[in-house]
Structure 1
């Protein structure tokens, strides 16, 4: 891969379009030096891997696969440790295993990982006890501590994003290719966790059933590398113009630009302006592109976006990630789906049940209710069942650690429990048990819907189990 070619829009051209949610840096010359340094770094992901993911997303858009996109709300430099990365990967693999076994369709595993260091904010500043400072925009921009030095927007942090992302991807690749993801050792994925809930007991029972099936396959001579390794991809919101532009490369095979900061990049709800810099930037890249679609998006807005971002009707190119809120999804989503499907494009429809269901508690915590998260997913499935379209996946903020950030679930976490282990740098995440619980609910719903469609997945659950 080579550097960006001259026909590619410059950073100044992109900023002239009005790049939303960009930090203001005190020293423009320092920003320029950082960008040039990043341009000289090797790509974090490679064009062949990106093409592979695009093919897998095309399968999900066609109703032959299901996307599990999951990970941290906002990665932090301090949390780039082997333990944290392993825990996050473990819970996602466990969820994917439950889903794939129940629905008997491939699960495309995409992490919110190795790049999710920047966050859009509703306000440029934050005031506490009469002191006003710049808002925390993620470790890519400034620090979480509420003091002047920490909240200074520092472009050198973009280099640290690259370094942290490279370290994370190196470790993930070692895990998924080195035997950690071997399906024949599914029990070990949770062996280091304290088994303290019915969710984990059910996971262990399902893992035992899968291991028996795998043992039978192996005695028949079926298996090998297919059981030992998995395909796992990195994604993040392509928010910061300097970082994404600096890590764009021209593929030597095709002469086309790829964003090499991640396999899949998405445009957020606050940056999806049709004539804005983010749509312009990502419309030029060969990566599979996601777009967050909230309740203010009209059917005509959605059609205009897909026509701009997927002009060639390319399978696997576009994923629309709805984030409507549990109370709105059944009313707002159907006309959007109908309008986009009428264009002839087969986009992957994915549900983000997190961002539309956030609220603040009486004791000052930002949280989400597990019941409301599931209610939005359930409504998303209802919409697609009624329209005869395929619910192609979910996009979830979670962690593999035992945090207390979202209320409800089998553990029945209350608002009072939130103070015990609230660790998120930004938005609340499902913890390990809540994530596995969501996977079982999803598996049941996928199983039921596929039977209703006349297909015949494994009857992995008794009907009453998840009622």
Structure 2
């Protein structure tokens, strides 16, 4: 828990990657008490089902398609938008199944991706001023106003409410089609995640989503985010950047997968197109030497960001495709299965990822980072499917 200092205490800036600076400890305590008394959003049985399916991915008998918004927005949550997002993921998984002749499961960045780690505590404005950075709707508002950017713990309750409505729609879709879109998000806000941990016969589990992950900035094996993941029985994942060392990986395996259970642990490589071939083979070898069979997933988005002349964040689609190809080649070199792909995408026809750095971006609607539009997402997933096909 991170709260603002009392009057007279020194002001210490919070790490931009971790907990926000909540203005009131009492308000936060009231919110977390209400969260702790609420019903879990997922069941232990569904979490166990996902772990079984991920074990098949780890063994090479299936693939994974994971994706969704960079940052979900409260105002966009509805049954209609949830159905569109689920349909997009299902379409992409079908493309992989047809190309590879093995099953592909679907996991959304959905029903909880309401918070984002940020590389800076402030956002620089075009006029030279600054604002506290937007940390996702679970923390503060996207509106460029100082009052809107004050962290508000009541937003955690809204996050759970919106997530519950999304889960309800996904449950209806699963009952109608027999194909479940599992939920996942980054376990960034520890006050939220810890309040939603629930007991079960198999051990405590995270009640906020089927799968939770730690990001590149919060993957310290001795840190609180990995500590949370180590205590729950859900499938868990860790994002790995290009600076990841073999020792880092082995420590994460020992903490998160001490029993070496296939399906328990996934590693999401977000290396960047220029690094993946160099870095990933050694990490795959380290996992093998540790006796671990993780699910290897490619996130070709987060290592390939750049700025357009306008100042907007963009990603070049060619860089995304290049990292996908490098990911598959690197794992094949190491004798490991390239299990899946993790994308920031949307069913909307946006122009946030582009072909050239100076391409215009007239439909730039993301709350944070650029997403692939439907045509771009199909293109990238087809590239992955072609690379992993027999």
Offset at residue 301 of structure 1 (A): 0.9
1:284 equivalent in alignment to 2:231: yes
Q: What is the alpha-carbon distance in structure 1 between the residues aligned to residue 83 and residue 314 of structure 2? A: 25
**Residue 57 of structure 1: aligned partner:** 54
1:120 equivalent in alignment to 2:69: no
SS at 1:141 equivalent: coil
1:245 equivalent in alignment to 2:197: no
Offset at residue 81 of structure 1 (A): 2.3
**Residue 164 of structure 2: aligned partner:** 166
Structure 2 unpaired stretches of 5+: 3-13
**Residue 417 of structure 1: aligned partner:** 360
The superposition leaves residues 311-358 of structure 1 with CA deviations (integer Å, 9 ceiling, x where unpaired) of 111121100000100001000111111011111110111110000000
The one of the two structures with greater contact order (alpha-carbon pairs below 8 A, sep at least 6) is 1
After TM superposition, list the pairs within 5 Å mapping 1:32-47 onto structure 2. 32-47=29-44
Aligned mate of 2:304, from 357, 381, 396: 357
Work out whether residues 118 and 141 of structure 1, in 8 Å CA contact, stay in contact via their aligned partners in 2.
yes
1:89 equivalent in alignment to 2:86: yes
**Residue 382 of structure 2: aligned partner:** 440
Q: What is the alpha-carbon distance in structure 2 between the residues aligned to residue 26 and residue 361 of structure 1? A: 35
Q: What is the alpha-carbon distance in structure 2 between the residues aligned to residue 397 and residue 161 of structure 1? A: 20
**Residue 174 of structure 2: aligned partner:** 176
Structure 1 unpaired stretches of 5+: 1-10, 13-17, 179-227, 451-467
The superposition leaves residues 79-119 of structure 1 with CA deviations (integer Å, 9 ceiling, x where unpaired) of 10233222221211111111101101111110000000000
**Residue 232 of structure 1: aligned partner:** 181
After TM superposition, list the pairs within 5 Å mapping 1:303-342 onto structure 2. 303-342=250-289
Q: What is the alpha-carbon distance in structure 2 between the residues aligned to residue 276 and residue 332 of structure 1? A: 23
SS at 1:304 equivalent: helix
SS at 1:325 equivalent: coil
Q: What is the alpha-carbon distance in structure 1 between the residues aligned to residue 320 and residue 57 of structure 2? A: 22
Offset at residue 130 of structure 1 (A): 4.4
The superposition leaves residues 224-269 of structure 1 with CA deviations (integer Å, 9 ceiling, x where unpaired) of xxxx420220000000011000000011x23x11001000000000
**Residue 78 of structure 1: aligned partner:** 75
Aligned mate of 2:98, from 98, 101, 106: 101
Compute the TM-score of the two structures, normalised by the length of structure 1: 0.79
Q: What is the alpha-carbon distance in structure 2 between the residues aligned to residue 85 and residue 403 of structure 1? A: 17
After TM superposition, list the pairs within 5 Å mapping 1:247-262 onto structure 2. 247-251=196-200, 253-254=201-202, 256-262=203-209
SS at 1:109 equivalent: strand
Q: What is the alpha-carbon distance in structure 2 between the residues aligned to residue 271 and residue 154 of structure 1? A: 22
**Residue 270 of structure 1: aligned partner:** 217
SS at 1:234 equivalent: strand
Q: May I ask how many residue pairs the two structures share in their alignment?
A: 377
Work out whether residues 325 and 376 of structure 1, in 8 Å CA contact, stay in contact via their aligned partners in 2.
yes
Q: What is the alpha-carbon distance in structure 2 between the residues aligned to residue 334 and residue 113 of structure 1? A: 30
SS at 2:365 equivalent: coil
SS at 1:69 equivalent: strand
Work out whether residues 87 and 401 of structure 1, in 8 Å CA contact, stay in contact via their aligned partners in 2.
no
- Name which one, 1 or 2, has greater alpha-carbon Rg: 1
Q: What is the alpha-carbon distance in structure 2 between the residues aligned to residue 242 and residue 116 of structure 1? A: 15
Compute the TM-score of the two structures, normalised by the length of structure 2: 0.94
Q: What is the alpha-carbon distance in structure 2 between the residues aligned to residue 177 and residue 372 of structure 1? A: 38
Q: What is the alpha-carbon distance in structure 1 between the residues aligned to residue 269 and residue 128 of structure 2? A: 38
Q: What is the alpha-carbon distance in structure 1 between the residues aligned to residue 349 and residue 124 of structure 2? A: 31
Q: What is the alpha-carbon distance in structure 2 between the residues aligned to residue 149 and residue 355 of structure 1? A: 29
Q: What is the alpha-carbon distance in structure 2 between the residues aligned to residue 435 and residue 88 of structure 1? A: 12
Distance 1:369 1:127, change over 3 A: closer
Work out whether residues 67 and 108 of structure 2, in 8 Å CA contact, stay in contact via their aligned partners in 1.
yes
Offset at residue 442 of structure 1 (A): 2.0
Offset at residue 175 of structure 1 (A): 2.2
Work out whether residues 230 and 255 of structure 2, in 8 Å CA contact, stay in contact via their aligned partners in 1.
yes
Aligned mate of 1:153, from 151, 154, 157: 151
**Residue 209 of structure 1: aligned partner:** none
Work out whether residues 184 and 212 of structure 2, in 8 Å CA contact, stay in contact via their aligned partners in 1.
yes
